């Protein structure tokens, strides 16, 4: 599969929540995940199994969310994706009790493909936007 096909399959099966365990087919045994938390860059190692668990946690928090790829660009062995995820707030998120109201998250990431598997990614999530929605929704009855 090409890098684009790998990432499209990853979003269709794994990131969408349809089949989180398919991550073992598309991700290297250890993936470097570069993330930003409170404007601090962090790098963690993730296994396919840990990533599948992460997706299950998203389902517990946001139910069967929808995911729409808004942009996908390929340059060699790297693939950039920006997506919109919409779910219902059904689980505790960052201390906020469930409201059942919609939460929209905009995220982008660059995925590096080596040996036909995701080996590394750099991700940015609009956490401030999610936080504002959670705060606003807690006041809606």
pLDDT digits (tens, 9 = 90+) for 44-53: 999 999 999 9
Q: Above pLDDT 70, what percent of the chain? A: 98
Cα–Cα distance between 127 and 22 in angstroms, integer?
Answer: 27
- Residues 15, 113: Cα–Cα separation, whole Å: 16
* Residue 98 DSSP code: P
**Which ranges of the chain does DSSP label H, i.e. alpha helix?**
3-9, 23-26, 48-62, 127-137
Residue 33 reports pLDDT greater than 80: yes
């Amino acid at each position: 599969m090409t890098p684009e096909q790998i990432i499209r399959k990853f979003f269709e099966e794994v990131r969408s929540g349809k089949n989180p365990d398919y991550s073992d087919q598309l991700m290297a045994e250890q993936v470097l995940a570069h993330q930003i938390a409170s404007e601090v860059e962090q790098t963690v190692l993730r296994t396919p199994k840990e990533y599948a668990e992460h997706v299950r946690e998203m389902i517990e928090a946001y139910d069967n969310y929808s995911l729409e790829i808004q942009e996908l660009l390929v340059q060699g062995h790297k693939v950039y994706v920006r997506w919109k995820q919409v779910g219902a707030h059904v689980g505790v998120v960052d201390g906020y009790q469930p409201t059942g109201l919609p939460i929209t998250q905009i995220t982008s990431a660059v995925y590096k493909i080596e040996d036909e598997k995701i080996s590394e990614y750099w991700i940015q999530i609009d956490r401030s936007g999610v936080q504002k929605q959670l705060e606003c929704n807690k006041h809606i009855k």
